[in-house]
Amino acid sequence: MSFAETVILGTIAGLTIFLGLPIARLRIVAPKHLAFLNALAIGVLLFLFVDIVAHAFEPVEEAVRHGPSEVPLMLGVLIAGFGLGLLSLVYYGRRAITSRPLVPARLALLIATGLGLHNFSEGLAIGSSAQKGEIALALTLVVGFGLHNLTEAFGIAAPLVGQRASWGMLGAAGIIAGGPNFLGTVIGYSFSSEPVSVLFLALAAGALVFVIGELFAVGRKLTEPIWNGWGIGFGFLAGLLTDLILVAAGG
């Protein structure tokens, strides 16, 4: 697969996130419905966090088994990336709240940032597999990650439902979240670096811890625990099913 073909496919995998963003334009005002959509986003992001941590820790486990000398580097990258991803948003969020309330639009952009870090690592995987000549794997990753991005869009859209978000706002969020797939694919095709992949997975995991906490805070304010529970369950299941499709296809 040529470089241009790989970059086009990697970009498409990231931009599928735009297919799920229009849900933010729904005029939903009932607290139970808002709570369900917010919790749906939490469920998707919880699954994504578990999935990211599992993939980020695999190289560390491999180093422990086969290359003990690499353990300090891989573990250090994992810890540093997680800490930076979490604390950078914690301090940003604190400054944002000090200057003005953490409005839904700003929360959506924070979520988009966390997803963008994750999508960069997905792009690395697509570009690397194509560069190695593993065409079937690369195509499978494109399809699987495209499906993942479709469900991840709910995480961005949930805080905006009922807020009459502008198309410009949704476009910016989609580029922040899905655009890094393009950059990751370009870099992944050019060279392969396991520490870089672990770093961006860890950054994404740390960022998602912050945004999941913020979404839980939103859910508590809506005081609809039953709908929260159902939403988290359905969201987690949606993430699980899209991941199983990817696994079944051989990705």
Output the pTM of the full model: 0.70
pLDDT of 97? 55
Flag whether pLDDT at 146 surpasses 70: yes
What is d(CA 153, CA 190) in angstroms, rounded to the nearest whole number? 28
Mean pLDDT of the chain: 81
Which structure tokens are listed for 18? 């735009």
pLDDT of 213? 83
pLDDT of 48? 80
Q: Greater confidence, 163 or 22?
A: 22
**Number of domains comprising the chain:** 1
pLDDT band at 175 (very low <50, low <70, confident <90, very high): very high
What is d(CA 223, CA 28) in angstroms, rounded to the nearest whole number? 16
pLDDT of 233? 92
pLDDT band at 137 (very low <50, low <70, confident <90, very high): low
pLDDT of 28? 66
Q: Greater confidence, 196 or 12?
A: 12
User: Closest Cα partner for 224 from 32, 28, 42?
Assistant: 32
Q: Greater confidence, 202 or 155?
A: 202
Q: Cα separations (Å) of 168 from 22, 153, 172, 175, 221?
A: 12, 16, 6, 11, 28
pLDDT of 22? 86
Structural domain that includes position 215: 3-23+30-248
- How deeply is 227 buried, as exposed, middle or buried, from its count of CB atoms within 10 A (0-12, 13-18, 19+)? buried
What percentage of the chain reaches a pLDDT higher than 90? 8
- Residue-wise pLDDT for 79-126, tens only, equals 998 998 888 877 766 665 555 556 778 888 888 887 887 788 778 878
pLDDT of 76? 92
